[in-house]
């Protein structure tokens, strides 16, 4: 069971995704969380740096789809101006939204990577659905109420994984 909480990679941010490595693994799509993965949870719009990154992803041939547990208003108001596909109210860590995003991109699971800042939703859900998962450091040090609860549980899970020698990075 613990194996589902272990990401395949741990990197500082989406900007640190190694595009050459992704290409070498035949990755063509990126399913990403929104809040504290792409922007701070309370930032309504994409930053100029993120807009450049999204442009680069398109130029380099990668499809990007946001899969978020947040509501339609939050996710659509962020995503629509950027032209990014999205799924709101995803109910992560359930597998359904990840599989739906993959299908919408017209890609196989082994051609898609899941990126997010939470072990209990993004990594656990992505791993259970059979995707390659990448955990990033949360952009903001604050979270909404439900995420704060998740973070407390997440810290316990990460401590257990660290104690068992299953992960080596620091928080």
Strand order across the beta sheet in which 85-87 lies = 9-11, 132-136, 112-116, 29-32, 63-67, 85-87
Q: What sign results for the dihedral spanned by CA atoms 65, 71, 74, 80?
A: positive
Q: Which pLDDT belongs to residue 106?
A: 98
Of the listed ranges 19-23, 36-40, 158-162, the least confidently predicted one is 158-162
d(CA 95, CA 125): 6
Q: What does residue 11 show for φ and ψ, rounded to 5 degrees? A: -135, 160
Residue 6's pLDDT is 93
Alpha helices in 60-144 (DSSP H): 72-82, 96-105, 124-128
Banded pLDDT at 28 (limits 50, 70, 90): very high
Entry pTM: 0.88
Fold classification of 2-163 is: Rossmann fold (3.40.50)
| Average pLDDT for 23-37 | 97
- Is-contact 158 139, C-beta < 8 A? no
The full set of domain ranges for the chain reads 2-163
Give yes or no for residue 19 having a pLDDT over 60. yes
Computed on alpha carbons and rounded to an integer, the radius of gyration of the chain in Å comes to 15
Q: DSSP string of 4-45?
A: GG--SEEES-GGG--HHHHHHTT--EEEE--BTTTB-TT--S
Question: Tens digits of per-residue pLDDT, 114-164?
Answer: 999 999 999 999 999 999 999 999 997 766 666 777 777 778 877 777 777
pLDDT of residue 143: 66
Q: Is the pLDDT of residue 171 over 60?
A: no
Question: What are the pLDDT digits (tens) for 41-94?
Answer: 889 899 999 999 999 999 999 999 999 999 999 999 999 999 999 999 999 999
Higher pLDDT: 16 or 41? It is: 16
Instruction: Give the residue-averaged pLDDT of 14-33.
Output: 97
Residue found by looking up tokens 């946001």 in the block: 66
């Amino acid at each position: 069971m613990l194996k589902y909480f272990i990401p395949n990679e741990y990197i500082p941010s989406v900007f640190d995704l190694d595009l050459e490595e992704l290409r070498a693994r035949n990755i063509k799509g990126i399913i990403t969380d929104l809040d504290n993965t792409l922007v701070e949870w309370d930032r309504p719009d994409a930053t100029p740096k993120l807009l450049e990154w999204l442009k680069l992803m398109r130029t380099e041939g990668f499809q990007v789809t946001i899969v978020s547990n947040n509501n339609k208003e939050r996710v659509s108001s962020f995503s629509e101006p950027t032209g990014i596909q999205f799924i709101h109210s995803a109910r992560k860590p359930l597998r359904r939204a990840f599989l739906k995003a993959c299908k919408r991109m017209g890609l196989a699971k082994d051609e898609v990577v899941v990126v997010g800042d939470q072990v209990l939703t993004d990594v656990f859900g992505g791993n259970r659905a059979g995707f390659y998962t990448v955990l990033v450091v949360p952009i903001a040090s604050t979270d909404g109420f439900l995420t704060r609860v998740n973070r407390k549980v997440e810290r316990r899970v990460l401590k257990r994984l660290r104690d068992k020698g299953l992960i080596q990075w620091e928080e």
